[in-house]
Amino acid sequence: MDPHSKPWSSLFEMNSPALQVFYLDELLNSLKEKKPKHPLLIVFQPYLQRDKTILEKGAGHYYNQIQDSSLSSIMKESLSEIFINWLLIRFHNKRYQEILKMLTLTTSLEETVAYKELVAIGERKGLIEGERKGERKGLIKGEKKEMKMLKRLKEEGNINEEIYQSLIIPIEKRIKELSHNLEQLLRK
């Protein structure tokens, strides 16, 4: 928060009780002293626990603590998703099965909203990429069809060599360019 930007600047100037500054680490430490099993402490473990080995070994326990808490089912689901998302960020180099094993989940990660959202994003990207590839293939096919038609017209004597070359060279260049673009898309 910038103390010089409105509307905050007036609160700083007046030393207003409406403005309180909190530091997350201090709040969490205070909460840890008062309520060591509070769900927020568990949710923040992917950030609080510096040792990845300890976090990895305790991830399933932390997750189960959220699930076993007295919170509403909506709150449990939200906190669980946040915990899992932060865990995925912290262990970005782990495979899906490794995360499942780490969490010792009784319910599949595939049932979480976060997983479904990630899959939907991947599917959309795949569809877009598939459309691009299909468009390129269609354009190449159309250009090749046009080349065949021009070749037939030349063979039948309907166009001369000069006209044929002036039309065929740009088509060959477009096919080469489209093929190159398609190869790049296929490598992704």
pLDDT at position 108 is 63
Per-residue confidence (pLDDT) for residue 9, from 0 to 100: 63
Question: Residue range 160-177: average pLDDT?
Answer: 86
pLDDT of residue 168: 85
Out of 12-16, 50-54, 64-68, 88-92, pick the least confident: 12-16
Tell which residue, 75, 78, 49, 73, has the closest CA to residue 61.
Answer: 49
The percentage of residues in the chain with a pLDDT greater than 90, rounded to a whole number, is 10
So what's the pLDDT on residue 93? 92
How far, in Å, CA of 147 to CA of 50, rounded? 64
What is the model's pLDDT at position 175? Answer: 83
Taking 70 as the threshold, does the pLDDT of residue 48 lie above it?
yes
Mean pLDDT estimate for the chain: 82
Element (DSSP H or E) covering residue 36 = none
- Alpha carbon 172 to chain centroid, angstroms: 39
- The whole-model pTM stands at 0.49
Residue 127 predicted with pLDDT over 90: no
Model confidence at 109, pLDDT cuts 50, 70, 90, reads: low
Residue 105 DSSP code: -
